[in-house]
Amino acid sequence: MNNFTYYVPTKVYFGKGQISHLVELKESGSKVLLVYGGGSIKKLGIYNTVMALLRKIGLNIYELPGIEPNPRIESVRKGVQLCKENKIDMVLAVGGGSVIDAAKVIAGGAVYGGDPWSLVIHPQYILKALPVYTVLTLSATGSEMNGNAVISDLKAHEKWGTYSPFFKPKMSICDPEYTYSVSAKQTASGTADIMSHTFENYFTTVPGGFLQEKFCESVLMTCIKYGPAALEDPKDYEARAALMWASSNAINGLLNAGTGVAWCVHPMEHELSAFYDITHGEGLAILTPHWMRFALNDDTVVKFANYGRNVWGIFGGDDYEVANAAIDRTAEFFTKELHIPGTLREVGIEDDKYFREMAAKAAAGSKGSFVPLTAEDVEGIYRAAL
Ligand code: NZQ
Ligand code: ZN
């Protein structure tokens, strides 16, 4: 196991009714920028609850609605301008990962002299940020408990993740009841995203992380049990709670502490979203089994066989048989139990027009991952997934 620093300063209020803790925002000043998406929080009544609480503590509230799924740099720029013009003290994101990610870069941009896109492509420029608070409404990205933010410039076909410890939320309200209304498509995509974060941490070349491996297997089993349960009954509290806590822990540094390697399926998917604006979790679910088939070889077969035995309970047969069965089972879970499309064509990617360009960028972004990937390898994975 390698040395590591594990630091998550986010105070998490988890469970029913925890929204009342929003009054703690008072600690950070008197002016808040409320950032949200396309309107789901208004339909659900969360908006009214949040506004009432913020008014109760006398905050001046400025609003930035309309953050898109796959949040755009144009929206971030608007938020930064609002912060600078009004001398905002803190940013409150109410929504899913897209809203939270936008809020983080707005918080960084508010105290930065240049264009916020620089903070997306040069994380080292992020030297401070306004405090970020979140009310999570969708279990998927783990953005509520980490320092990552993923922003797109779709006109340039660019989608990049940035990171700063200053982006880690000061507080996150995680009420599973707020996810009852999440659509079947987003519930499935979110579950696939949590699983993908876990796979990126699980398939590592760093020896010695027995505990981290078991954490990963637990998170995967949680998704396998509760993803379909939440689809079956969207108001199953235990299912929504399990997925919500799994989402935060899959990507807050716990699962890969001392054992992390570069991620690879995420860079491949980010290119798909950058060029085709598809749903992140769907892209991951489509690519993952093809990446697994590519990655299976004499050096990795034991790891894949462990995955099959420990996560899927596949016994009998040699390592290769178990490994292959586990990969088949993974693909089947995504398509048959989460009902996610199984091919890129089904999500609207008709041809291989941009594959070479996308593959070159994804391969560069995944240097040092579990198995080495050349641009040609990535292109092959895209073709297999088409
Ligand atoms: O826009 P609104 O009205 O809020 O509707 C959203 C949106 O249409 C809706 N939604 C959210 N909560 C809801 C709800 N609908 C009904 N009821 C609710 N309670 O769901 C749709 C998708 O929301 P979005 O925030 O885009 O989804 P998600 O949380 O999956 O975020 C995806 C983004 O996060 C990035 C992805 O690349 C993508 O841009 N990621 C961020 C990461 C991070 N910060 O650590 C890591 C991930 O790997 C990922 O890359
Ligand atoms: Zn993800």
Residue of minimum CA distance from atom 16 in ligand 1: 182
Nearest-ligand number for the alpha carbon of 98: 1
Neighbours of 205 (CB within 10 A): 13
Pocket test for ligand 1, best of 280, 284, 338 (most atoms within 8 A of CB): 280
pLDDT per residue as tens digits for the range 120-179: 999 999 999 999 999 999 999 999 999 999 999 999 999 999 999 999 999 999 999 999
CA of 95 to the centre of ligand 1 (A): 7
The predicted structure's pLDDT at residue 109: 98
Measured from the Cα of 146, ligand 1's closest atom is: 45
pLDDT per residue as tens digits for the range 95-129: 999 999 999 999 999 999 999 999 999 999 999 99
Residue extent(s) of CATH 3.40.50.1970 domains in the chain: 11-178
Residue extent(s) of CATH 1.20.1090.10 domains in the chain: 182-385
Q: What is the mean pLDDT of the chain?
A: 97
- Is the CATH number 3.40.50.1970 carried by domain 11-178? yes
| Architecture, CATH, for domain 182-385 | Up-down Bundle (1.20)
CA of 319 to the centre of ligand 1 (A): 37
pLDDT per residue as tens digits for the range 327-346: 999 999 999 999 999 999 99
pLDDT per residue as tens digits for the range 180-198: 999 999 999 999 999 999 9
pLDDT per residue as tens digits for the range 42-51: 999 999 999 9
Nearest-ligand number for the alpha carbon of 135: 1
Q: pLDDT band at 309, cuts 50/70/90? A: very high
Rounded distance, CA 353 to CA 116, Å? Answer: 30
Pocket test for ligand 1, best of 34, 46, 73, 150 (most atoms within 8 A of CB): 150
The verdict on the CB of residue 137 being under 6 Å from ligand 1 is yes
The verdict on the CB of residue 109 being under 6 Å from ligand 1 is no
What mean pLDDT is predicted for residues 264-278?
A: 96
